[in-house]
Amino acid sequence: MNKAVFIPLIVLTTLIILTAGCVSTSNDLAGTWTTGDYTNPDGTHYTKFVEVFNADGTGIETAFLDNGTQIIWNMTWIKTGDSTYVYSYESWTATLSSDGKTCTYSGGWVYVRDEGTTGTGLVGNWTSSQLYEYDGEFYSMKDVIRADNTGITTWTSANGTETWDFLWYKTGENTYYTTYTTSSVLVTMQSDGTAKDNYGLIYKRS
């Protein structure tokens, strides 16, 4: 798990949270959790992570390094199943039009469903309605959104093409939570009251 990796380009949407008002239970992520140690592939060793998941879907992660340094990241989280959750350091909200033909993001980006695309809701192929500027370059964007809650976004400028994988989850009738795969962590509650993420870390309530 590369906790320090952040993708700088903004692709998709700004956050909507449906976890407001959730009640803390043994099967709820809300609360404070502590993990064991973890070593990144680059050799960076963390003695522990402390995760604070607020009931409103916001949160803070504090990473503790060997030298005593603490690194703090803001995050958001949602429930994705009976005992599964995702939290992310970068997440956005997509709002689908009532006719399902356009998708508007809180940052102002607008995507149009490609003609002939299959799928319902957010699923399908989408193209940005215009070029968008980032860091002095103008990009056209295309998204391929799959029914299995995954997708890929492609940004094309005069200097080439870049792609990123992302995850998405429906949060309302026409709203969706989206996040880069590289900046998200999947968490599953365990029968013993602990939680486990997709990097193998075990979370215990603090």
Residues 7-16: tens digit of each pLDDT: 333 333 333 3
Sort strands 45-53 and 31-35 into parallel, antiparallel or unpaired: antiparallel
Q: Is residue 122 part of a domain?
A: yes
Q: Is residue 180 part of a domain?
A: no
Q: Is residue 11 part of a domain?
A: no
pLDDT of residue 146: 97
Q: Is residue 7 part of a domain?
A: no
Number of domains in the chain: 1
Q: Is residue 76 part of a domain?
A: no
pLDDT band at 1 (very low <50, low <70, confident <90, very high): low
pLDDT of residue 135: 92
Please give the residue that has the higher pLDDT: either 20 or 66: 66
pLDDT of residue 4: 39
**How far is CA 16 from each of CA 36, 43, 129, rounded to the nearest angstrom?**
30, 35, 23
pLDDT of residue 200: 96
pLDDT of residue 108: 82
Q: Is residue 44 part of a domain?
A: no
Q: Is residue 101 part of a domain?
A: yes
What number is the average pLDDT over the span 155-165? 97
3-state secondary structure at position 183: helix
CA-CA distance, 18 to 57, in Å (whole number)?
7
Backbone angles phi, psi at 171, to 5 degrees: -120, -10
Structural domain boundaries, residue 135: 97-167
What pTM was estimated for this model as a whole? 0.82
What number is the average pLDDT over the span 117-132? 94
pLDDT of residue 19: 33
CB 87 within 8 A of CB 59: yes
Q: Is residue 159 part of a domain?
A: yes
User: What is the tens place of the pLDDT at every residue in 67-118?
Assistant: 999 999 999 999 999 999 999 999 999 999 999 999 988 778 899 999 988 8
pLDDT of residue 27: 66
Please give the residue that has the higher pLDDT: either 19 or 53: 53
pLDDT of residue 105: 84
